Chain A
């Protein structure tokens, strides 16, 4: 069902949710520069379920960290939702992430001292949402990931799959325009992993957010609407699945 599209053509379209203009990222290992991203230019279409596919060390995490405003490019310009993020201060970026971006991590990264409910509620507290509204939204999203009964459990009382579902709820509760997931299934068995991808897909449809998740597992291609293949810090191809 998927057809390959030449890279050049995929960079067109001003309505992209995320747009890279010659973005490079170079790390320094001592005196040795490591080029994790080599001047990539492309766009990620909005409100789609996109996948970044590449082997270990190809630059997936580097790419997602830049999209998530967790890191700054060494060169080039990055636009998210039409905003150039390069000029923003640290506090402005924090604010931007708090409002617009949801994160799902490989290691779940729940706050251990907070219950499932409190973990999900936390981003709303950060945004200053009123308590009644907070409660309504938190319970609603917990229901849609199927964890209302486990809402008072601490993370260490949950299974890996359950933790990741809490993390999905936490990423989505504030209604972000962009949700990023760096290898969300890497720490899960394949069955649970597939279930998590399905759940992500489902909530993406319900919320209409732009989803970007990364994986090294080519078997997950069938779940994605857009697939960006990268290798050695370069974009190999962009394929769009037409359902």
Chain B
């Protein structure tokens, strides 16, 4: 006849009320779990999207991050191979690092002069092997579900790379790159050999592509559209390189989609530094696990300091403000929803327990007369609130897990902000056990607090009044 056993029996006393209370708590638990699973899915997706492209950490010349992007040439890292080697050989960093690679970031003008189209571009020069390796990163095992943001980069030919879909469209490469949604079909000038302008591009290129399998490598190359990339070197002189566009790949954000160019590191170096000393703008590190960011960052800062280098380290949050903003916003929404749930559960349990205390006032008087202390009365009602909370939370979480499973197998889609097309609506099913645990414990605490308020009121009644209350 423990307190809990009596509490359980009292809960079955007013079945309808208990069911309503438990339902409210269960719905709160379920909603919080499912929304939490959705948010954490978005987190890991964004994290993965950003980490595969930008890594976790980047080393720059001191000041580049704040002032240098306007003039990347001036903030290059000289002797970057030495720094690269220093990081690669460090015994602490070694087990943490998946990829460490130099990059060049630059701005310039991309022109498809045969169709009179040009556009400023934002270029990223990478070492294809490292770049492709970074794209294999999949700590949370969700790559299979992710919309492909980048194409593999040509490892053999330095002059090849890809552009954002928007940039491809602006530069009239729709036909060549099979870009959908081009109202004015592209002109056929994107052929390096300059085919006649009167030939409709679509038919022309479609025909060439489809039969391309049978042709040789060399002739295949000639179908790849070519751009001229123009930039100012560190010396201030204009510089031009030829660039072959293998593919157009959609970037989530329109501004980026309309400007992005990924090219070979050496091509970018050539464009930015001309005949001068070849430097790197950044050294990017991709770790095996995101949680090692702080440790790795501290270690690199230590290395920089001990060697007296003129460098700085920036982490994911700083490199990708959008990543930080989305996480901040989703966290805020999640906190708000959790708060609403807490308030609903609080009021429901307070209401239920208040009615219970009121109905059972003579019982309180009786127990007090028999010799139960005030604390004993409080404990009895708190136990009932706790039990309601735990039953509700347990049912709600179980339903939440089921709902998560159903959502992931429903084939529903949604269009996230910044996304050009609908994506599958997914929630995280793995790794949400800690969230479920937190919800369970939080609801238990909320139920205890909610029950405690009316329980204390009941315990404080004078015995004679309580007994006389019929």
Contact = CB atoms under 8 A, between A and B. Distances in A.
Interface of A: 65, 68, 70-71, 90-91, 94-99, 101, 103, 105, 107, 109, 111-114, 118, 121-123, 125-127, 170
A151 to B, nearest CB: 14
B13 A122 contact: no
A113 B362 contact: no
B371 interface: yes
A-B complex: 10 closest residue pairs judged by Cβ atoms: A98-B371, A113-B9, A109-B366, A97-B371, A70-B463, A94-B373, A71-B464, A103-B369, A94-B371, A91-B373
B369 A68 contact: yes
Interface string B4-25: 0010011001000000000000
Main secondary structure of the interface of A (DSSP, over half): helix
Contacts of A123: 370-371
Contacts, number: 69
Contacts of A127: 371
A126 B13 contact: no
Contact of A111 (B366, B368, B463): B366
Given A112-B13, A114-B1, A121-B1, A70 B467 contact: yes
Contacts of B373: 90-91, 94-95
Contact of A65 (B10, B362, B363, B464): B464
B372 interface: yes
Given A107-B362, A107-B470, A114-B6, A126 B463 contact: no
Contact of B370 (A112, A113, A122): A122
Interface string B350-382: 000000000000110111111111100000000
Contacts of B363: 109, 111-112
A91 B463 CA distance: 13
B462 interface: yes
18 contacts: A68-B369, A70-B369, A70-B463, A94-B374, A95-B373, A97-B370, A97-B371, A98-B371, A103-B369, A105-B366, A109-B366, A111-B363, A111-B366, A112-B13, A114-B9, A121-B1, A122-B370, A126-B371
A113 B368 CA distance: 17
Given A111-B367, A118-B1, A105 B467 contact: yes
Given A112-B13, A113-B6, A98 B462 contact: no
A94 B368 contact: yes
